[in-house]
Amino acid sequence: MHRYLAQVAAAAIAVGAWSGVALASLPVPRTYSGCVVNGVYKSEDGYTIRVHRADGTLVDLSKWEKQRVRITGSLLPSDRFYLKEAPVVLGPCR
């Protein structure tokens, strides 16, 4: 009986762990505001965000240099951010 319960518990843990991994890999909708400095997007929270197009190529942020910009898209594992909308300029960096 104890062996059966141990097998059931192990199976439940394995299923729970697998489902957690699957959920963690889903895209998460996000909107960030931040500044572009030296071609790098830095959120107001201090995170450096690599901005990608839907095809996976990096977005050239140089035209928004020293501008405060809002970006909307999806955040994936490894902090890969994919734009869904064109960036919106909010003004100069503070």
pLDDT band for position 9 (50/70/90)?
Answer: low
CA distance 67 to 61: 10
* The pLDDT value given to residue 94: 83
Which of 71 and 3 is assigned the larger pLDDT?
71
CA distance 30 to 35: 16
Architecture of domain 29-92: Beta Barrel (2.40)
Domain ranges of the chain: 29-92
11: pLDDT strictly greater than 60: no
pLDDT in tens, 23-75: 568 899 999 999 999 999 999 999 999 999 999 999 999 999 999 999 999 99
* The pLDDT value given to residue 38: 94
Q: Picking from 18-22, 43-47, 76-80, which range would have the lowest pLDDT averaged per residue?
A: 18-22
Residue 60 CA, chain-centre distance (Å), reads: 18
